[in-house]
């Protein structure tokens, strides 16, 4: 038995890695190849997987689901069948789509999946009145956020968050992960390139207030998912423009204790716009809530 995965962006696809790891003494025509997504039949960063499968001598393949990417959709299956390979399609489709939700969403909706993450005190504040950052959530919640970052292709934030918090906005995880690209919505002239956000060249500055246009710019770069980590004003703008598919809230049991920058307008939009609470549980002393926009 052999297994394979697409281990890094631009690297060999899962089918290629799987076939290359088969013991050379085993007759490949006796094997069945199981794939989650339809093998590609076009040249991108790598050659077509169909060519590798056909040349290997494998005679049977089981494909979980047709790839929604128009560059692939149906073409890989047709090529394999034309080569005389026994192809079965449609096994555990819903499970595969769920585990690849960002990829399927992008191709079905022609834009990336947008997740918004907020952290709030028990009295719904994000910061004090002058924008000075406050420690809201526990270390365990902060660690959970790192895992969420690692799942997304892009992190979007605004200038106020950068100036007030000076965040690094990378995924600090203990497993191999592609670091999300960091995107700042601001004019380049206002960007202080000495901040942590600009510590390497894996960032982009987009100077546009039209968020739908911004999301399309990101979509055209072939990214599947966006994580928005920003202050209440920018988050509210994403919500008003209908650009939120999932909102994750971390709420501390501690109050700010005085007036500050509030999440109230954001929380009102969530309540009024039909967001469904899909999970709520405790992480250390905090409550993590996940809302889905159906």
Given the residues 15, 38, 51, 139, select the one marked as catalytic: 15
User: 103: closest CA among 53, 49, 151, 47?
Assistant: 151
Residue 94 bears catalytic tag: no
What's the CA gap between 34 and 65, in Å, rounded? 11
Q: What spatial distance separates the first Cα and last Cα of the chain, rounded to whole Å?
A: 41
What are the start-end ranges of the E strands in the chain? 32-37, 60-65, 86-89, 113-120, 125-128, 154-158, 181-185, 203-206, 225-228, 246-251, 260-262, 275-283, 286-293
Angle between helices 264-272 and 232-240 (to 10 degrees): 20
Compute CA distances 273 → 119, 208, 211, 243, 292, whole Å: 20, 25, 19, 12, 11
CA distance 108 to 68: 7
Catalytic (active-site) positions: 15
């Amino acid at each position: 038995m052999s297994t394979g995965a697409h281990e890094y962006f631009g690297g060999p696809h899962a089918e290629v890695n799987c076939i290359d790891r088969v013991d050379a003494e085993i007759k490949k025509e006796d094997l069945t190849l199981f794939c989650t997504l339809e093998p590609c039949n076009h040249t991108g960063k790598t050659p077509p997987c169909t060519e590798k499968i056909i040349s290997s001598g494998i005679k049977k393949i089981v494909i979980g689901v047709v790839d929604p990417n128009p560059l692939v959709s149906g073409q890989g299956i047709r090529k394999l069948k034309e080569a005389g390979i026994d192809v079965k399609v449609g096994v555990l489709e819903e499970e595969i789509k769920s585990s690849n939700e960002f990829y399927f969403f992008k191709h079905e909706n022609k834009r990336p999946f947008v997740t918004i993450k907020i952290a709030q005190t028990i009295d719904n504040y994000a910061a004090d009145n002058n924008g000075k950052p406050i420690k809201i959530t526990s270390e365990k919640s902060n660690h959970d956020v790192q895992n969420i970052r690692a799942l997304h292709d892009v992190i979007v934030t605004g200038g106020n968050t950068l100036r007030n918090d000076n965040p690094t906005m990378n995924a600090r995880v203990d497993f191999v992960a592609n670091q999300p690209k960091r995107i700042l919505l601001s004019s380049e002239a206002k960007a202080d390139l000495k901040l942590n956000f600009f510590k390497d060249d894996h960032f982009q500055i987009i100077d546009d207030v039209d968020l739908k246009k911004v999301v399309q710019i990101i979509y055209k770069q072939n990214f599947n998912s966006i994580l928005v980590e920003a202050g209440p004003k920018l988050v509210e703008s994403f919500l008003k423009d209908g650009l939120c598919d999932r909102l994750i809230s971390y709420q501390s049991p501690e109050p700010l204790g005085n007036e500050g920058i509030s999440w109230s307008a954001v929380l009102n939009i969530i309540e009024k716009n039909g967001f469904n609470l899909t999970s709520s549980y405790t992480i250390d002393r905090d409550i993590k809530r996940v809302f889905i926009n159906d």
